[in-house]
C-alpha cells in the first residue's frame, strides 16, 4: 500500500500567494533581486576567503560553510517559488516536494550546529587568545565542519526517511514550498510517532546548539567584563557582534514561527515568516557577517588590485 500511494501521487498544488494575484509580479521582481543578492553575496564571501591570505583563519573557514549553506538553502526554495509566481498552474512534482522537505530539514539542522560551532570559535578566540590557533587548528576545524554536516544529516534526514508516510488527497499545500510541518497535515496514517520523533529531533538539533551558544556567550561576557580597557572590551565585542545578529535573526524567526500562540496563527503570516528565513535571511547574512567586515573589505581591495595588475601585465605582454 505504501508504494502504491507514493506511485499514484505525481504532483501537488502550491497555493503560495495565489489568493492575492495582484501581488505576484511585484513579489517576483522583489524576490528575484533578493535571490540575486543572495547568490552574489555568498559567492563573494566564499571567493574572498579562498583568495585572501589574510582570511585563512578558523572564523572565516566556518563563515564559508555558512555562506555555502545559505546559498544552497535559498536555491532549494527560491527558483521554484519564483516560477510559480509567473504561472497559473502552481504545482510541484511529488519527488521534488520530497527533495525540498528533506533538504530544508537537513540544512536547518546543520545551520543550528554550525552557528553553535561558530559561537565556540568566538569563545576560544576571546577567552584563550594566546592558545587560539593551537586549539582551533586546521585539523580541529575540518573535523568540526565534517561533524556539523554529518550530524545535521543523521539527525534530520535519516529519521524522516525511515518514518515517511503516504499522503492523502487533496494534494494542496497552502505554503510557498514543501516543508515537514506542512506535509504533516497531508499524511494519511497516524502521525503521533513522527511528531514525537520531530520533538526529540528538534530538542537535539535546535535546543542543544542554542544552549551551546548561550553558554559560550555567557563565558565571553564574563571574559569581556574582566578586560580593563574600554577599547579592549569594544574590540572583543565587535568580533562577536555579527554572529550575535545572525543568531538573533535565525532563532528569533524560529521562535516566532513555532512558539507564538495559536490565536496569532495565520496561513499568510506563516508564509511571510518562511520567506524571511528561507529567502531574505540568507541574503542578509553575507552583508551582516562578511562584506561589512573591515578585514573582508581589505581582502576585497587586495583581490581587485591583484586582478587589475594581472590584467595590466597581460595587456603589456600582448602589446609588446
User: pLDDT at position 1, please?
Assistant: 35
Give the three-state DSSP class for 92.
strand
Mean pLDDT of 8-21: 77
- Please say if the pLDDT value at position 14 is more than 70: yes
Cis peptide before 2 (omega within 30 of 0): no
Q: What is the DSSP letter of 166?
A: -
Extended beta strands in 33-131, E state: 91-93
Confidence of residue 165 (pLDDT cuts 50, 70, 90): low
Euclidean distance between CA atoms 52 and 180, whole angstroms: 39
* pLDDT tens column, 60-90: 899 999 999 999 999 999 999 898 888 888 8
Average pLDDT of span 8-16: 78
Residue 192's CB: how many other CB atoms inside 10 A?
Answer: 8
pLDDT(4) > 50: no
Mean pLDDT score, 114-137: 92
**What is the spatial distance between Cα 284 and Cα 299, in angstroms, rounded to a whole number?**
20
Predicted pLDDT at 3:
41
User: What is the residue whose three cell numbers read 587560539?
Assistant: 132
SS3 14: strand
Mean pLDDT is highest, among 41-55, 193-207, 224-238, for: 41-55
Amino acid at each position: 500500500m505504501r508504494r502504491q500511494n507514493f506511485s499514484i501521487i505525481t504532483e501537488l498544488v502550491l497555493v503560495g500567494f495565489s489568493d492575492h494575484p495582484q501581488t505576484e509580479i511585484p513579489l517576483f521582481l522583489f524576490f528575484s533581486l533578493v535571490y540575486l543578492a543572495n547568490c552574489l553575496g555568498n559567492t563573494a564571501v566564499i571567493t574572498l576567503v579562498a583568495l585572501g591570505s589574510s582570511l585563512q583563519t578558523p572564523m572565516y573557514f566556518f563563515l564559508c560553510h555558512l555562506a555555502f549553506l545559505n546559498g544552497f538553502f535559498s536555491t532549494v526554495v527560491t527558483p521554484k517559488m519564483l516560477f510559480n509566481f509567473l504561472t497559473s498552474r502552481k504545482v510541484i512534482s511529488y519527488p521534488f516536494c520530497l527533495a525540498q522537505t528533506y533538504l530544508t530539514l537537513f540544512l536547518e539542522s546543520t545551520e543550528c550546529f554550525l552557528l553553535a560551532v561558530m559561537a565556540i570559535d568566538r569563545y576560544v578566540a576571546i577567552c584563550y587568545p594566546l592558545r587560539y590557533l593551537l586549539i582551533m587548528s586546521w585539523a580541529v576545524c575540518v573535523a568540526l565542519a565534517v561533524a556539523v554536516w554529518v550530524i545535521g544529516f543523521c539527525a534530520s534526514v535519516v529519521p524522516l526517511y525511515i518514518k515517511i508516510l503516504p499522503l492523502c488527497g487533496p494534494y494542496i499545500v497552502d505554503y510557498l514550498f514543501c516543508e515537514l510541518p506542512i506535509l504533516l497535515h497531508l499524511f494519511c496514517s497516524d502521525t503521533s510517532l513522527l511528531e514525537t520523533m520531530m520533538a526529540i529531533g528538534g530538542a537535539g538539533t535546535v535546543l542543544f546548539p542554542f544552549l551551546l551558544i548561550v553558554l559560550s556567550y555567557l563565558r565571553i561576557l564574563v571574559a569581556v567584563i574582566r578586560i580593563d580597557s574600554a577599547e579592549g572590551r569594544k574590540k572583543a565585542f565587535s568580533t562577536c557582534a555579527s554572529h550575535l545578529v545572525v543568531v538573533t535573526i535565525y532563532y528569533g524567526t524560529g521562535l516566532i514561527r513555532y512558539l507564538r500562540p495559536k490565536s496569532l496563527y495565520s496561513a499568510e503570516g506563516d508564509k511571510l515568516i518562511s520567506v524571511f528565513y528561507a529567502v531574505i535571511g540568507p541574503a542578509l547574512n553575507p552583508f551582516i557577517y562578511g562584506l561589512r567586515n573591515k578585514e573582508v573589505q581589505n581582502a576585497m581591495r587586495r583581490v581587485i588590485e591583484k586582478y587589475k595588475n594581472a590584467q595590466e601585465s597581460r595587456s603589456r605582454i600582448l602589446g609588446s
